[in-house]
Structure 1
Amino acid sequence: MTKCNVNSCPCPKTKCERHGKCCECIKHHRDIKTLVYCMRQIANSKKP
């Protein structure tokens, strides 16, 4: 799969094999039950 979003990927882990590959990144994080970096700020802002 190509890096479809490398120019706007906010993740600081630029050495990651999934950097800029949103679908792969989201799948990986779903598999390990963690939140993708680009959604963490949104999730934290919605906490009570």
Structure 2
Amino acid sequence: MACNKENCVCPKTDCENHGNCCKCINNHREKDSLVYCMREIAEKK
């Protein structure tokens, strides 16, 4: 979706999953890591 690409805040623009939220989230879940766009929210908790 174009809206995902336009609103993706991840600085890794060369990543193949940049702007593809579903793929990005699934990739991070496999690695047991947090997606960039959720890190600030997680740190506040």
In the superposition, the TM-score normalised over structure 1's length comes to 0.87
Structure 2 unaligned blocks of 5 or more: none
Residues of 1 paired with 2:23 and 2:32: CA distance? 14
State the Cα deviation string for residues 14-48 of structure 1 (Å, max 9, x = none): 000000000000000000000000000000011xx
Structure 1 segments of 4 or more deviating over 3 A? none
Residues of 2 paired with 1:29 and 1:39: CA distance? 11
Q: Which residue of 2 aligns with 1:41?
A: 40
Structure 1 unaligned blocks of 5 or more: none
Q: Which residue of 1 aligns with 2:19?
A: 20
In the superposition, the TM-score normalised over structure 2's length comes to 0.93
Which structure has the larger Rg over C-alpha atoms?
A: 1
Q: Which residue of 2 aligns with 1:7?
A: 6
Sequence identity, in percent? Answer: 58
Aligned length: 43
